[in-house]
Amino acid sequence: MGGRNNKRKQHLPLPIELEKATGKVTKAVYDKIKHDQVRDLKKQTAALKQAASGSGRKRPAPQSQPTPKKQKQAAPRKPAAAKPESEEEEEESEGEAIMADDGPDGGWDNAPLESDSEAAGDSDESLDEFDSDDEIVTQQPLSLLSDSEDEDEEQEEEDAGVESYDEYDTDGEESAVTFRDMEKRSRKLDAKRAEDAEMADMELQEQDQAVASEREVFALPSDEQVEAEKEAPLDLTQVQMRIQEIIRVLNNFGELRDPSRSRNEYMAQLHRDMCFYYGYNDFLMEKLLQLFTVSEAVEFFEANEVARPVTIRTNTLKTRRRDLAQALINRGVNLDPIGKWTKVGLTIFDSPVPVGATPEYMAGHYMIQAASSFLPVMALAPQENEKVLDMSAAPGGKTTYCAALMKNTGMMVANDANKEREKALVANIHRLGISNAIVCNYDGREFPKVMGGFDRVLLDAPCSGTGVISKDPSVKTGKGPEDFSMLTHLQKELILSAIDSANADSATGGVIVYSTCSVTVEEDEAVVQYALTKRPNVRLVETGLDFGRPGFTSFRGQSFHHSLALTRRFYPHAHNMDGFFVAKFKKISNKIQVGEKQIVPAGSGAKLKQKKKKD
Amino acid sequence: MRPLTDDETKVFFEKLTKYIGRNIVHLIDRPDEPYCFRLQKDRVYYVSESIMRKTTAIGRQNLISLGVCFGKFTKTGKFRMHITALPSLAQYAKYKVWVKPNGEMPFLYGNHVVKAHIGRVTEDMPEHQGVVIFNMADVPLGFGVSARSTVDMRKVDPTGIAVFHQSDNGEYLREEDALF
């Protein structure tokens, strides 16, 4: 009962409110009427003006320029009034079109001048119809809502033009007129073309002058200035300008250089500026600049400032991509397939719900995984009933993808050296319903001793992360030469143990895939080259990835084995995925021929046979 | 890694029977490959025998997980099922409850299933038995214990609890540190 009373109380003041409301409404109505009246007045005056300007536009060309502008301004000023106004405008434009039809000569007189005012959009091969169309095009902003009408008119005019051509064959008089007309027209066109060319020349000259003046303006800062900048650095826009200037000079060095300065000086300044602008340390900047041309390097750095799109991988053990996409779309997620190269990946553009906490995610229907980390697994191409090792597995994106490709058969060994990261790995394995996996915590270098004879080995080596700077910007400043020497050393040890863990005698496999999320040659090609020299029983094979750039076969005086062209590099600016490197090896034999001796590394498939022989 | 002792097996199987009844047999005698349960650091893992044999190469300290974790023994010797056992439980569950879409998220946030959210129930479900909870699209969400038998459930008012929450898929996110 109390509730009801409350309701009544709430209802009590309603009539007063209503009255007020009605009062307001009446006032609003009154306002509206007044407003409409004013608007009508304005409309009439505007129509008058337009009519005046429309007729005025026919003859003196300079007037034609300001009028459309006025109309453009007028149109958005009263969008509400546009509806009734449009009728008038239609009439008006029709009238104009008729006028254009009536007096083609006047139109032609105007044509070149008008098209001049229209900037360079006009092409040289504009035919007669197009000239008459030009008028309508200029009118288009004026008649916002009567576009279709105009188009119809255009159509009619075009038809008329065609008719006149038809008549040209039969009717002598008509054709004579057309011929004369044509001559006149072509003369006009020639004149216009000449004028255009002149304008273009002028513009070019101006540009050249500007460039010349810029060239004079741009000079590399002297040593003193550089010193001074260290004390009081320039602001970012200035530095950016200078970077662009230097790149421009470097791209056309012969002509634009300051003869007293060497290329090295330009490069040094560019290096300093880029370090400052993008926030990299000297060492890394040098490494990356060596990798690309200067303009590509800038693209690379710019790409590193932008986050890559979120991508997910369908867990084919539990669902299909189409079903998953439908389920996510129903949650309002905006997604698309990643590309033609994968059948399980989806790109998430935006999502009203956190993609990492949907019921589908919790049920293990998908895994949030960078597009680049699909690649090594696709290269590895694990088969059913194989024994596969993932040497540095956490957080499990690649491991679970492998297991999904194997359809939960065979055996998947996921190893990681970091015990903390193993939690996420185990969680993901369980969430995605992988039942053929074992997870262990070893240093990867111990591996062939722990367990060997794998059909396939995936080594996603720990690396400097120069390919994933967009994810982890701390790489920019955090990695120095000592990190690189430490990491490359570790990578070389790991790749050897990975190769030794694989079994060359495997019926289906004997495959090793080496991948890093780094783009530096030291961590990629150099490591692969090292493996090839140390283990002559492996050779590189096609990765099976039909995109990406081939690896370097020579780099700054180092030359690598020619088969390194079979490896694949991926860049953030070129492929819109993290920087990545994939190399696929095939192990031919379990024995290594070193001089006369045959060494059989422990743990490979040949180990048992060797032992038996000894026994 | 070692096989379960007799006591452990008894406790574990008692618990498992609550959810899947006599279907335990199907867990072990599978048509494709014999499977077994192994104990590693208090946790019970369900793994195929071939993988289990290969895993013996891995040291006890270094082995983190093998196959599917079913749950763990508490310090008091009881067995606690983990959400990771859900796929197997869902496959052989005796008693099932399907929740409507509006009841999905509340359950995944760790709440009990109220009667209003129930879409379908297995017919002859007794009180205090293990139940696996599905959504209407037959995706397993978690498991719990029935608060009432199917017959009594009809009499309960809509806000009354039908199934006590034990474990749900949301734990993959909420309790990653404790689970693994």
- CATH number of the domain at A491, please: 3.40.50.150
Cβ-based burial of A48 (10 A; exposed 0-12, middle 13-18, buried ≥19): exposed
- Does B167 or A125 have the greater pLDDT score? B167
The alpha carbon dihedral of B70, B74, B80, B83 has a sign of negative
The reported pTM is: 0.70
Interchain CB distance below 8 Å, A357 and B87: no
Facing residue for A362 by CB, picked from B55, B68, B170: B170
A375 shares its domain with A360: no
A436 contact B CB<8A? yes
How many contacts does A have with B, using Cβ atoms within 8 A? 92
- Find the length of chain B: 180
The pair of three-digit structure tokens given for residue A48, joined into one six-digit string: 């008058």
Residue type, A542: E
Q: Does A442 touch chain B (CB under 8 A)?
A: yes
Distance CA A388, CA A409 (A): 11
Partner A contacted by B102 (CB < 8 A):
no
Which residues in chain B are contacts of A430 at CB distance < 8 A?
Answer: 65, 68-69, 84, 172, 180
Query: Is the N-terminal amide bond of A337 cis, ω within 30° of 0?
Result: no
Tell me, yes or no, if A80 comes closer than 8 A to chain B by beta carbon. Answer: no
Quote the pLDDT of residue A47.
66
**How many Cβ atoms from other residues are within 10 Å of residue A194's Cβ?**
10
pLDDT at residue A603 in the model? 55
Asked if residue B114 lies in contact with residue B164, where contact means CB atoms within 8 angstroms, the answer is no
Predicted local distance difference test score (pLDDT) of residue A596: 57
pLDDT at A259: 81
Contacts of A52 (CB under 8 A, 6+ apart): none
Look at residues A371, A362, A363 and name the one whose alpha carbon lies nearest to residue A344: A371
Per-residue model confidence (pLDDT) at position A565: 93
Q: CATH code at A341?
A: 3.30.70.1170
Is the interface score ipTM higher than 0.90? Answer: yes
Contact check, Cβ <8 Å, A362/B108: yes
Q: Is residue A608 a part of any domain in this protein?
A: no
Whether A383 and A500 share a structural domain: yes
Amino acid, res. B73 = F
Helices A172-217 and A104-117: crossing angle in degrees, nearest 10, is 10
Q: Which of A315, A411, A438 is best to mutate for the B interface (most B CBs within 10 A)?
A: A438
Domain boundaries defined on chain B: 2-85, 93-174
Could you tell me if A241 and A351 lie in one domain?
no
CB contact under 8 A, B57 and A451: yes
pLDDT of residue A493: 94
CA distances from A97 to A92, A152, B55 (A): 9, 11, 87
Query: Does the distance separating the beta carbons of A435 and B64 come in below 8 Å?
Result: no
Mapped onto helix, strand or coil, the DSSP state of residue A1 is: coil
Contact A363 B139 (CB under 8 A): yes
Q: Are residues A87 and A103 in the same domain?
A: yes
Q: Do A338 and A425 belong to one domain?
A: no
The answer to whether residue A7 sits within a structural domain is no
Interface test with A, best of B56, B172, B179 (most A CBs within 10 A): B172
In terms of domains, do A556 and A580 share one? yes
Superfamily of chain region B93-174: PUA domain (2.30.130.10)
What is the total count of domains within chain A? 4
**B4 burial level (CB within 10 Å; 0-12, 13-18, 19+):** middle
What integer is the mean pLDDT of B71-98? 94
- Flag residues of chain A having pLDDT under 50: 1-20, 23-25, 54-174, 606-615
- Pick the closest to residue B143 from B114, B176, B166 (CA basis): B166
Q: Which of B51, B61, B140 sits opposite A411 (nearest CB)?
A: B51
What residues of A are in contact with residue B57 (Cβ under 8 Å)? Answer: 450-451
Note whether A255 and A339 are same-domain residues. no
In a domain, A583, yes or no: yes
List beta partners, residue A411: A387
B91 touches chain A (CB under 8 A): no
A531 lies in which domain range?
Answer: 371-599
Residues A333 and A393 in one domain: no
Are A539 and A563 in contact, with CB atoms under 8 Å apart? yes
Residue of A nearest to B54 (CA): A451
Closest-approach residue (CA) in chain A for B69: A430
| Residues B118 and B145 sit within 8 Å (Cβ to Cβ) | no
B180/A426 touch (CB, cutoff 8 Å), yes or no: yes
Per-residue model confidence (pLDDT) at position A212: 59
> Distance of alpha carbon A612 from its chain centroid, rounded?
58
Position A272 in a domain: yes
Do residue A550 and residue A451 come from a single domain?
A: yes
* Closest of B114, B157, B153, B159 to residue B133, by C-alpha: B114
Asked if the structure places residue A99 within a domain, the reply is yes
CB of A243 closer than 8 Å to CB of A274: yes
Q: Which residue has the tokens 């359950």?
A: B107
Q: Is A411 found in the same domain as A535? A: yes
CB contact under 8 A, B54 and A411: yes
Q: Which fold has domain B2-85?
A: Nuclear Transport Factor 2; Chain: A, (3.10.450)
Distance in angstroms (rounded) separating the CA atoms of residues A46 and A43: 5
Residues A146, A131 share a domain: yes
* Inter-chain touch A438–B48, beta carbons under 8 Å: no
Catalytic sites of A, residue numbers: 517
Q: Are residues A167 and A234 in the same domain?
A: no
Q: A253 versus B37: which is more confidently predicted?
A: B37
